Structure 1
Amino acid sequence: MTNKSVIQTENAPKAIGTYSQAVKAGDTVYLSGQIPLDPNTMEVVAGDFAAQTRQVFENLKAVCEAAGGELKDIVKLNIYMTDLANFATVNEVMATYFQQPYPARAAVGVAALPKGVPVEMEAVMVLS
């Protein structure tokens, strides 16, 4: 695919595996999963689930901006949680980052996530 490019920013955590922070194909940007890592230290941020969820959104925001977009350009958001009891907290934090119309979304309970974190998010963004 000739119109494919890799998105990379120092404002989000470096990839901790064999993947890119995001890949742009045409006007669509596929954002890899982000966990609550501080991009400066590459350590999991301290705090409760809400604080860690905010860090994930900040990481996604940084990658969106590096790709030339904003969080509001996300059309699909997938959220993975190790405890679905945190669903309401995700909604509360998400409401501080998004306004209607909200992106399509999935919230999935999983057994474990990288580095033992409780939340990970990936997204698809369309640039206009």
Structure 2
Amino acid sequence: MEKRIINPWAWQNDRNYAQAVEVKNVQSTLYVSGQTAIDDNGITSDADMRTQISKTFENLEKVIRQADFELKNIVRLNVYTTDHPAFFENFDIWQSWITKHSIQQASNVIEVKTLFETLKVEMEATVVK
């Protein structure tokens, strides 16, 4: 698999995403459904945004690893949140997780009116190998 990052500017580097990601010679593609802060028993979190972001990343990792893909090969990571300001107040979690796993991905952050039950954030990913 070959991956090429397209960034005509430098400013997005401080926000840990790419303007575009080209992939060639892909062996397989994994489309991950929206992951949220739901525990192993299916109970939705009613915790604050910071806690929900951390749990969402934990669940996203679990699905990707169980599918035998690598986190560094996430090429698209979209975020849906019910509270755009609160998400960006906790953006350091996003940046740390992206940096830790050497991910360079295209992304969107979209505010939505509601998510399931008490959830504040949901992330969907596309991963290649």
TM-based fold match above 0.5:
yes
State the SS of the aligned residue for 1:114. coil
Structure 2 distance, partners of 1:27, 1:67, is: 11
Q: Partners in 1 of 2:47 and 2:54 — Cα distance?
A: 10
State the shift of 1:64 in Å.
0.6
In structure 1, the gaps of 5 or more residues are 1-24
The Cα RMSD (Å) is 1.9
Residues 57-76 of structure 1 aligned to structure 2 (within 5 Å) = 57-76=57-76
Q: Number of paired residues? A: 102
Residue in structure 2 matched with residue 126 of structure 1 by the alignment: 128
Which secondary structure does the structure 2 equivalent of 1:116 belong to?
Answer: coil
Give the counterpart of 1:109 among 83, 103, 111.
111
Name the counterpart of 1:49: 49
Which one has a bigger Cα radius of gyration?
2
Give the residue type in structure 1 aligned to 2:97. Y
Contact 1:60 1:71 in 2 (8 A): no
Note the alpha carbon deviations across 1:22-60, whole angstroms, 9 max, x for none: xxx951100000110012x21123532111111001101
Residue number in structure 1 paired with 2:29: 28
State how far apart, in whole Å, the 2-side matches of 1:123 and 1:101 are. 12
SS at match of 2:117: helix
SS of corresponding position for 1:62: helix
What secondary structure does 2:69 align onto? coil
Q: Secondary structure at the match of 1:86?
A: helix
In 2, the alpha carbon distance for the partners of 1:110 and 1:87 equals 12
Q: Could you tell me how far apart the structure 2 residues matched to 1:58 and 1:27 are?
A: 23
Length-normalised TM-score, structure 2: 0.71
5+ long unaligned stretches in structure 2: 1-25
Aligned to 2:23: none
**Bigger RCO (CA 8 Å, 6+ sep):** 2
> Is contact 1:71–1:97 with CA below 8 Å preserved after alignment?
no
